[in-house]
Chain A
Amino acid sequence: MLEIDDLHVTVDGRDILKGITLSIPAGEVHAVMGPNGSGKSTLSYTLAGREGYAITRGRILYQGEDLTQLAPEERATKGIFLALQYPVEIPGVVTLTFLKTALNAQRRARGESELDAMRVLKLVREKAKALKIPEEMLKRPLNAGFSGGEKKRMEILQMALFEPKLAILDETDSGLDIDALKLVADGVNALRAPSRAMLVITHYQRLLDYIVPDRVHVLTNGRIAKSGAADLALELEAHGYENV
């Protein structure tokens, strides 16, 4: 599904990623763990196509296609989804309107028919219920005044709605209490599927108790320092990143 090969990325002229090689087959969940400043968020933004993240070497293949020249919206349409560490508040755009606009933009770009407001509402309601997102929240401006937990649940709701092939979760556990964490993890686990790959980026092992990965990669100083099975996360928790 995703093949990252010798990826080098600079941001504002600074080298952040210094040769990442990583492969995630369909159906697998991979975790990338690392200390602050190791390049975790840079990796997620680069995969999603954010401006200002310049690839200086290497390439990213997604379903065999080179992603590097594609705009963020094109990547989204092709099935890449990034759940942000800090979802943006957009006052003035009603959440439901946003969901409909985004869903239909993706469908339009894929040559599928657009869904009317009723269909979208039905679809959203269904998914929102599982994440315990009250309908009232959908009528409020997107993320505006939402709590940390509400914002993260809203990200997972979008993931459930867009049904991506590759989901990247950037520190989705940050700022969540244990109940919110479980709710979000359940939402993510429900979306695990043989046709879907996931990249879970996190600082702490805690999230991986609930979303158990197939592989764990340790990112330090812009490189993958170590890869292993799920128990590598426990080892990191016990001994810290310094001994990697």
Chain B
Amino acid sequence: MTVLALKPLSEADVFQEDFAANAAHLPGAGQEWLDRKRAAALQAFARTGMPTRRVEAWKYTDLAAALESPLEPAARFPGAVREAGAFAGVAGTRLTLVSGFLHAVGDREEDIDIVDLAAIGTKVPDWVKDHLGLLAAGPDQPLGAASLALMRGGVALRVRASNAALHLNFVNPAGRHDVVIHSRILIVVEEGASLRLLESHSGEGNDQSLTNLGIEINLRPGAKLEHVRLQSESQTALHVTSIGASLERDAGYRALYAGLGAKLSRLDVIVQLRGPGAEANLHNVSAPSSGISDVTTVMDHASPHTTSRQLFKSVVGGHGRSVSQGRVVVREGAVKSDSHQLFKALLLSPRAEADAKPELEIFADDVICGHGTAIGALDADALFYLRARGIPEAEAKGLLIRAFLEDAIGDFVDPVTHDAIWRRLDAALTAMGQEVK
């Protein structure tokens, strides 16, 4: 259920102002197909406006209140960027996006078509025209809609082969002003093709810039996507990513999201299971010790014989807050839907907070839908057991915390990616005062 709240008129909306002033200068402006999509997206955004806690899906994460200063749209970064990203050691085509603009392409594999959305001209491939804006642009993802309406940069990618590998390395350099980065990633994985996508976000400086990223994932029949996403922006930044994924018959989407940076991190995911045999498996880990790490999903079983699994784990310390919201919808006729979601949070300090809200909306018979939530402190029995075996308290705690998170990471990724994620996780846990060795 989407609840819309009216914004007071006096609170002028920076996004709408931006559109009013700059629509004519946005990439691809003047092309009817894109102008139309941008205008529709702006309208979708306007139904909610900048989300406050009065918007049901944002009740735990007040983005409007977190925006303290006026934000200018980000401009293309003129300098050189050395940041290789968290997954530098992993093979595959490497795209570096700086402030949301495509900056460099490295180790290019021929089996991935790449279109720079900042340089979109009159010659646009049909697959871009056909797909752009179908997902992550509706009123149920208002920030996703804004990222399309105000899109300055990003890339469109099409995969036609098996075992393609791609690294999206997002870098936000320190700037003099707080900026907002509206960018889009469009991914089309053609029938029977498969892609391994590594996405990393890093930032420097201590500004309060907002990344507003919209990701569209189109998986054609039998297509597979394995998506590992590591968000480790600077601790002052704001980060919102809206993902829309459409899975056709027998398509598979496996994702591991790690939300480790930013003072406010919101990952907003809508997965549509649109054909029999479609299967989505989402894992999320977070370790906030000061900010908010929010993952909110809608798993839409729109076809019979579809499967979804969700496992979200967060370790919360200091005065950090984790939010896990998951709505599973089984539509009329979507028999033999099989869905499970489990949200677990470990609270390590008295001021830590975890909000978990699983929801089920079932309109079909003969389905399996399970959900569970567990929020608590470290297990005292387990801690005593380890200490009674000679393991010092701090090390024992670290072992248990690591085990708790590893459960969601473990076999999900290859060893190199695994280590890359753990390097960032270890740093986040150390910042929390938990030594994990």
Q: When A73-B391, A73-B393, A93-B399 are in contact, do A102 and B404 touch as well, CB less than 8 Å?
A: no
Is A92's CB under 8 angstroms from B406's CB?
A: yes
Over the window 82-115 of chain A, the binary record of Cβ atoms lying under 8 Å from chain B Cβ atoms (1 yes, 0 no) is 1010011011110000100111011001000000
Chain B: minimal CB distance from A78 (Å): 9
Verify if B62 is at the interface (C-beta below 8 Å from A). Answer: no
Q: Tell me how many residues of B have a C-beta within 8 Å of chain A.
A: 24
Over the window 384-399 of chain B, the binary record of Cβ atoms lying under 8 Å from chain A Cβ atoms (1 yes, 0 no) is 1111111111011001
Q: When A88-B385, A101-B399, A102-B386 are in contact, do A73 and B406 touch as well, CB less than 8 Å?
A: no
Of the residues B379, B380, B389, B407, contact of A76 by C-beta under 8 Å: B389
Residues from chain A with Cβ under 8 Å of B395 in the complex: 101, 105
Of the residues A51, A84, A105, contact of B385 by C-beta under 8 Å: A84
Considering the chains assembled together, what is the distance between the CA atoms of A91 and B389 in angstroms? 17
Considering the chains assembled together, what is the distance between the CA atoms of A91 and B342 in angstroms? 16
Residues from chain A with Cβ under 8 Å of B393 in the complex: 71, 73
Is A90's CB under 8 angstroms from B390's CB?
A: no
Interface size on A, as a range, is 20 to 34
Over the window 139-171 of chain A, the binary record of Cβ atoms lying under 8 Å from chain B Cβ atoms (1 yes, 0 no) is 001000000000000000010001000000000
Of the residues B387, B399, B403, B407, contact of A71 by C-beta under 8 Å: B387
Q: When A50-B384, A88-B381, A93-B399 are in contact, do A105 and B391 touch as well, CB less than 8 Å?
A: yes
Is A102's CB under 8 angstroms from B403's CB?
A: no
Considering the chains assembled together, what is the distance between the CA atoms of A75 and B387 in angstroms? 9
Verify if A25 is at the interface (C-beta below 8 Å from B). Answer: no
Is A93's CB under 8 angstroms from B390's CB?
A: no
Chain B: minimal CB distance from A222 (Å): 22
Chain B: minimal CB distance from A159 (Å): 10
Residues from chain A with Cβ under 8 Å of B406 in the complex: 92
Chain A: minimal CB distance from B374 (Å): 13
Residues from chain B with Cβ under 8 Å of A82 in the complex: 388
Q: Restricting to A41-81, which residues have a CB under 8 Å from any CB of B?
A: 48-51, 71-73, 75-77
Interface majority SS (helix, strand, loop, mixed), chain B: helix
Considering the chains assembled together, what is the distance between the CA atoms of A92 and B399 in angstroms? 9
Chain A: minimal CB distance from B81 (Å): 37
Over the window 115-154 of chain B, the binary record of Cβ atoms lying under 8 Å from chain A Cβ atoms (1 yes, 0 no) is 0000000000000000000000000000000000000000
Is B390's CB under 8 angstroms from A105's CB?
A: yes
Verify if B4 is at the interface (C-beta below 8 Å from A). Answer: no
Is A77's CB under 8 angstroms from B390's CB?
A: yes
Residues from chain A with Cβ under 8 Å of B29 in the complex: none
Of the residues B379, B382, B391, contact of A101 by C-beta under 8 Å: B391
Of the residues B391, B396, B403, contact of A91 by C-beta under 8 Å: B403
Considering the chains assembled together, what is the distance between the CA atoms of A71 and B399 in angstroms? 18
- In the complex, what residue of chain B is closest to A161 when comparing beta carbons? B389
Chain A: minimal CB distance from B400 (Å): 7
- In the complex, what residue of chain A is closest to B389 when comparing beta carbons? A102
Verify if B402 is at the interface (C-beta below 8 Å from A). Answer: yes
- In the complex, what residue of chain A is closest to B405 when comparing beta carbons? A92
Residues from chain B with Cβ under 8 Å of A90 in the complex: 382, 385-386, 400, 403
Is A91's CB under 8 angstroms from B407's CB?
A: yes
Considering the chains assembled together, what is the distance between the CA atoms of A82 and B386 in angstroms? 11
Residues from chain A with Cβ under 8 Å of B391 in the complex: 73, 101-102, 105
Considering the chains assembled together, what is the distance between the CA atoms of A50 and B383 in angstroms? 10
Residues from chain A with Cβ under 8 Å of B388 in the complex: 48-50, 72-73, 75-76, 82, 84
Residues from chain A with Cβ under 8 Å of B389 in the complex: 73, 76, 98, 102, 105-106, 158, 162
Q: Restricting to A215-237, which residues have a CB under 8 Å from any CB of B?
A: none
Residues from chain A with Cβ under 8 Å of B382 in the complex: 88, 90
Residues from chain B with Cβ under 8 Å of A73 in the complex: 387-393, 396
- In the complex, what residue of chain A is closest to B379 when comparing beta carbons? A88
Is B390's CB under 8 angstroms from A92's CB?
A: no
Residues from chain A with Cβ under 8 Å of B407 in the complex: 91-92
Considering the chains assembled together, what is the distance between the CA atoms of A84 and B385 in angstroms? 8
- In the complex, what residue of chain B is closest to A48 when comparing beta carbons? B388
Is B403's CB under 8 angstroms from A51's CB?
A: no
Q: When A101-B391, A106-B390, A109-B390 are in contact, do A92 and B385 touch as well, CB less than 8 Å?
A: no
Residues from chain B with Cβ under 8 Å of A84 in the complex: 385, 388
Q: Restricting to B381-434, which residues have a CB under 8 Å from any CB of A?
A: 381-382, 384-393, 395-396, 399-400, 402-404, 406-407, 410
Residues from chain B with Cβ under 8 Å of A87 in the complex: 385
Residues from chain B with Cβ under 8 Å of A101 in the complex: 391, 395, 399
Is A76's CB under 8 angstroms from B387's CB?
A: yes
Residues from chain B with Cβ under 8 Å of A91 in the complex: 403, 407
Considering the chains assembled together, what is the distance between the CA atoms of A158 and B390 in angstroms? 11
Chain B: minimal CB distance from A139 (Å): 13
Give the residue among B380, B385, B389, B410 with the most A Cβ atoms within 10 A: B389
Considering the chains assembled together, what is the distance between the CA atoms of A42 and B387 in angstroms? 17
Residues from chain B with Cβ under 8 Å of A76 in the complex: 387-390
A76-B387, A91-B403, A105-B390 given; 5 more Cβ-contact pairs under 8 Å: A73-B392, A88-B382, A93-B399, A105-B392, A162-B390
A to B CB contacts below 8 Å, 16 in the list: A48-B388, A50-B388, A71-B387, A75-B388, A77-B390, A82-B388, A90-B385, A90-B386, A90-B403, A92-B406, A98-B399, A102-B391, A103-B390, A105-B391, A105-B395, A109-B390
